[in-house]
Amino acid sequence: MIIALALTVALAVLASLPYWLPRSVVALRVWLFARVNGTEGIAIPGDLVDDSRFLEVYSHPAASGRSRGAALSDLFWYWLSPGPEVHQEHLEPGPRYDEVARCTRRILTMPSAVADQLATESLRVALPSRTGLVRLRDLVMPVWAEFYHRVAFGRPATDEVRGLIVDNADDVVTALKCCGLRHMDRRLRLTDHLERVLDDVPHDLPAVLDRRERALYLQGTFFNTAIVQSSEATAHVLMVLAADNALQRAAADEKLLDHIFEETLRRYPLFGVAHRVATADIVLSRDSTIPAGSVLCFNYADFHHSGGHIPFGVAANRPCPAWHLAPVTVKAVTRELLARFAFATSAAHTRPIPNRGPCLMTPRDAPARRRALTLGYLRLRDRWEDVWRSLVQLVLGTYMVWDARRLRLCERYFEASSP
Ligand code: HEM
């Protein structure tokens, strides 16, 4: 009798795991990260700066420090290695940053029609041929590898080089989401390749950087950030459409697709938090000042939730250089995919999208066989994966936070470069 009761309770606990364990583990992870990282950050919006002053503080000239002086930077430098010290996102303001930012803008500037065509061609060349159960982020990553290879080198990538780019970008985003550890060997294979073929780049690269640094600059901006962000944006848009068949059919209308793209980035902003270091006091009122040296953590999700919408950052403070190119190209790839395939999903869709967008993808004109059964299986698989993944994220995330604190990549870099 007692054994039967214990068994029933154990079974009930086991069956209910997907409903409470992932959430509890995420809460524990957030708590642990806050402990390890310290409480140096000022959350905005928050107690000191509310939604109504979010943009004003983000755009403040003193909200300009990028890496130096923030313990958080050690973690970002760890995730974005190799070459975080020349990654545009992490360069301190100054002539070096200005030249790098100018170069990125020059490379990304092209007419919308050219960008659209380049994206469409990249899809034709690089889309994996599989259908059935797919993960959207993995599905489109080779397409973006092809696209940004063409943008940076002015020519198609070989299968091997595309593989190097995907391995690099996938490793970065997997580590960033704490779903896997970083593998520097995979990343450095791409750096070595880029350094070897650097002379083939048809653009003038920043003269302030040496040869290795130029390879690292290309890697960070075009073969990491560009690929990861474009893949995640495409995965989010397709997840929204896969969950709503009527919307998916209607999205053939360009105007509606524009709206869906905007609304998707409002609900699922790609940046969780962007941080800055105050380089001078920021006076808020007569008796409230943010002291120089404070780390300002701008929370996109909270700001969007309160009605604001800045998918590509703020114009006055290092906005995304792809704010024009990314929407055109993500919509072109989405449009082409929708013309050829139907998407359906029963998986969870969250902002960090750690499940990489599981979907059922079938040729548009194929009859939908065993659709309900497959979607039932997908829902179950997604729920149970969530249980396992949340534990993996807790363990690996804690290890990486610890390892990044140990290596102190950012802190040591600035110590070494101080007079
Ligand atoms: C839909 C896709 C994308 C979204 C939603 C997005 C969003 C953003 C946001 C919000 C920022 C500002 C963060 C801050 O204030 O610190 C940013 C910065 C940046 N993005 Fe994007 N991005 C996307 C695609 C791309 C692509 C395709 C590239 C490629 C080349 C790119 C390169 C960068 C760089 C280099 C920065 C740093 C800018 C600086 O500090 O000067 N992004 N992005």
b/e map 47-61, b = 16+ CB within 10 Å: ebbeeeebbebbebe
Q: How far apart are CA 19 and CA 386, in angstroms?
A: 10
Q: For residue 235, which of 273, 272, 268 has the smallest C-alpha distance? A: 268
**What is the residue-level pLDDT of the chain in tens, covering all 419 positions?**
777 777 877 777 777 777 767 777 766 666 665 555 555 689 899 999 999 999 999 999 999 999 998 888 999 999 999 999 999 999 999 999 999 999 999 999 999 999 999 999 999 999 999 999 999 999 999 999 999 999 999 999 999 999 999 999 999 999 999 999 999 999 999 999 999 999 999 999 999 999 999 999 999 999 999 999 999 999 999 999 999 999 999 999 999 999 999 999 999 999 988 999 999 999 999 999 999 999 999 999 999 999 999 999 999 999 999 999 999 999 999 999 999 999 999 999 999 999 999 999 999 988 777 899 999 999 999 999 999 999 999 999 999 999 999 999 999 999 998 76
Q: Is the pTM of this model over 0.85?
A: yes
Q: How far apart are CA 198 and CA 210, in angstroms?
A: 11
Q: How far apart are CA 102 and CA 321, in angstroms?
A: 9
Atom 18, ligand 1: residue with shortest CA distance: 320
Token digits for 305? Answer: 């939730």
Q: How far does the centroid of ligand 1 lie from the alpha carbon of residue 227, in Å?
A: 11
Q: How far apart are CA 51 and CA 263, in angstroms?
A: 19
Establish how many alpha carbons lie within 13 A of residue 386's alpha carbon, considering only the half-sphere containing its beta carbon: 24
Token digits for 14? Answer: 């086991």
Note the pLDDT of residue 201. Answer: 98
User: Is the CB of 88 within 6 Å of ligand 1?
Assistant: yes
Exposed/middle/buried for 96, CB within 10 Å: 0-12, 13-18, 19+? middle
Instruction: Answer for the pair 56, 66: CB distance below 8 angstroms, yes or no.
Output: no
Length of the chain: 419
Could you identify the residue written with the tokens 């990553």? 141
**41-44 and 295-299 beta bridge pairing:** parallel
Q: How far does the centroid of ligand 1 lie from the alpha carbon of residue 80, in Å?
A: 14
Segments in 286-370 forming alpha helices (H): 300-305, 325-340
Q: Which residues lie below 8 Å from residue 116, measured CB to CB, with a gap of 6+? A: 328, 329, 332
Note the pLDDT of residue 263. Answer: 97
Note the pLDDT of residue 15. Answer: 75
User: Is the CB of 313 within 6 Å of ligand 1?
Assistant: yes
User: Is the CB of 270 within 6 Å of ligand 1?
Assistant: yes
User: Is the CB of 221 within 6 Å of ligand 1?
Assistant: yes
State which ligand 1 atom lies nearest to the alpha carbon of 91: 40
Q: How far apart are CA 249 and CA 233, in angstroms?
A: 19
Instruction: Answer for the pair 398, 391: CB distance below 8 angstroms, yes or no.
Output: no
